[in-house]
């Protein structure tokens, strides 16, 4: 239970990577209201998201393909307001515990999907949605 015993800047890179619960919510297109600066999630998935596996198809080289993909680090986690409140990085940075369904607690990486906590069953490839329709796919992200 290293995530309870260490500070986030003490995690090894493997420990940091293992924190991700695999929900895929951060890989959804987000739209920012230019007047209010409020960020809304859409159901459109990044072109690199493998929707069946809910993993990035080119994780190690993703920034070359999707420059706007942001690397989550201990140094920026508190500034990434758009992340869902369920995000494991956000929870740990806020001093909270991981949920029981998190794979580090339950040992099962499928549970996040089986419990409907991931985007697997409802997100749509962004390639399938014309830009003028993105706004129609604005969704509320479940916390």
| 126 contributes a contact to ligand SF4 by CB under 6 A | no
Of residues 20, 56, 30, the one with CA closest to residue 141: 30
| 44 contributes a contact to ligand SF4 by CB under 6 A | no
- Structure tokens that stand for 19 in this block: 């924190």
Question: Whole-angstrom Cα distance, residue 34 to residue 5?
Answer: 41
Question: What residues have CB less than 8 Å from 94, skipping those under 6 apart?
Answer: none
Which 8-state DSSP code applies to residue 39? E
Which 8-state DSSP code applies to residue 143? -
Q: Give the nearer residue to ligand SF4 in terms of CB position, either 1 or 35.
A: 1
| 20 contributes a contact to ligand SF4 by CB under 6 A | yes
Among 16, 25, 93, 103, binds ligand SF4 (CB under 6 A): 25
54-83 footprint of ligand SF4 as x/- string (CB under 6 A): --x-----x---x--x--x----------x
Binding site for ligand SF4 (CB under 6 A): 20-27, 46, 48-49, 56, 62, 66, 69, 72, 83-84, 87-89
């Amino acid at each position: 239970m290293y995530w309870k015993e260490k500070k986030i800047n003490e995690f090894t890179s493997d420990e940091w990577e293992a924190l991700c619960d695999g929900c895929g919510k951060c890989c959804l297109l987000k739209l920012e209201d230019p007047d209010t600066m409020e960020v809304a999630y859409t159901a459109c998935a990044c072109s690199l998201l493998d929707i069946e596996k809910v993993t990035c198809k080119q994780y190690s080289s993703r920034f070359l393909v999707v420059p706007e993909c942001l690397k989550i680090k201990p140094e920026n986690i508190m500034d990434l307001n758009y992340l869902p409140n369920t995000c494991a990085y956000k929870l740990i940075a806020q001093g909270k515990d991981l949920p029981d369904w998190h794979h580090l607690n339950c040992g099962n990486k499928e549970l996040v999907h089986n419990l409907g906590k991931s985007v697997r069953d409802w997100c749509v490839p962004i390639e399938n949605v014309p830009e003028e329709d993105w706004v129609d796919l604005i969704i509320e992200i479940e916390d």
